[in-house]
Structure 1
Amino acid sequence: MEVVKRLYERFSSLVHELAKFGSIGAVAFVIDTGLLNFCHVVIGLGPLTSKLVATVVSTTFAYLGNRYWTFRHREQTGLGREYFLFFLLNGIALLFGILAIGFTTYTLGLNDTLSVNIANIVGVGLGTLFRYWSYKKWVFLEATEPIPVELPGQGVRQDR
């Protein structure tokens, strides 16, 4: 039991960070998949255009969720810098989705809704691995000074 406790203490911040990242990612995935299907099936846009639209919207949501919840304890190096890098890295991750959907649709000739969605899931999965690594490395940097959990003066009552 002591081994489990030590492992938890050692990796608790990583576990919490991954849980938050996964939660934001799950909601962004629902947004991405919903918009992909809406644009492709309901509106009639092509699968690649639909993926592009869905990714722009879901990426904006993911940036806000990751900046202000998942990685809020990390250094804030400027909204413009972070947002630019976030979208640049998501553009690279988007290539995983575009390649998977493009291969499925145009190489294999499978353009039904199920095939496009399966290709999207594969692309999102590969892109998610790249995004988590790249966000920690380039976007949401380690804090150089500890970030306070509470505002100064909160949590301590001083009776006079």
Structure 2
Amino acid sequence: MSRLSALHARARLLYREIAKFGVVGIAGIGVNLLIFNVLRWTTGLQPVRASVIATVVSIVFNYVGFRYFTYRDRDRGGRGREIGLFTFFSLIGALIENGVLYVATYGMHWDSTLSNNVFKFLGIGIATLFRFWSYRTWVFRTLDGAATEQAEAILTDAERGAQIRPGRPRP
């Protein structure tokens, strides 16, 4: 497999992963914002408390989506480790997300429904960048090196077979 085609294949896989991450993430953002606003309207909770509850619910929603949709082809060994790391990195993301809302609400005194939602959304966006990197790097790891090498060898052999023309000897 040439370097260019290998790079193209990796880029295509990364784009697919980002798209799947985005689908689950957008649904998770919807869950997060819906629960946040319902809690604010129906219970009168303070913005950051309502946001923390909404964030926890969306973390559970996102784990299911990531495990069974986005990263379903990844190594499933060590599920306890996976859940532990997912929880750890999700909590860091929750601190980022709710920290932005906290600073806006209590530090800058921007405490209206609109500003709460704007800064909640901004916090989600910043935390999402961290979560994407940490989940794909630490939580939903690719298959071990031997399996990856075997898969690449199969692709290389298939590509060689496609490049052979009738009447030419095999390399």
Q: State the TM-score, normalized to the length of structure 2.
A: 0.78
Q: Give the match for residue 89 of structure 1.
A: 89
- Match runs of 1:43-122 below 5 Å: 43-122=43-122
**Rg larger for:** 2
Which AA in structure 1 matches 2:83?
A: Y
Matched, 1:27 2:18: no
Determine if contact 1:75/1:143 at 8 Å carries over to the other structure: yes
Determine if contact 1:41/1:113 at 8 Å carries over to the other structure: no
For 2:87 and 2:64, how far apart are their aligned partners in 1? 12
Deviations 1:92-130 (A, max 9, x none): 011112211111111111111110111011100110000
* Shift of residue 90, structure 1, vs aligned partner: 0.8
Determine if contact 1:29/1:58 at 8 Å carries over to the other structure: yes
Q: How many residues align?
A: 145
More displaced stretch, 26-35 vs 99-108:
99-108
Segments of 4+ in structure 1 off by > 3 A? 5-10
Determine if contact 1:97/1:120 at 8 Å carries over to the other structure: yes
**SS of residue matched to 2:141:** coil
For 1:131 and 1:50, how far apart are their aligned partners in 2? 21
Which AA in structure 2 matches 1:126?
A: I
Gaps of 5+ in 1: 149-160
* Shift of residue 6, structure 1, vs aligned partner: 8.1
Q: Give the match for residue 158 of structure 1.
A: none
* Shift of residue 143, structure 1, vs aligned partner: 0.3
**SS of residue matched to 2:74:** coil
Q: State the TM-score, normalized to the length of structure 1.
A: 0.83
Determine if contact 1:40/1:50 at 8 Å carries over to the other structure: yes
Q: Give the match for residue 39 of structure 2.
A: 39
Deviations 1:8-64 (A, max 9, x none): 534111111110000000000000001111112221111111111101111101001
Gaps of 5+ in 2: 152-171
For 1:27 and 1:59, how far apart are their aligned partners in 2? 11
- Cα RMSD for the two superposed structures: 2.1
More helix by share: 2
What percent identity do the matched residue pairs reach?
36
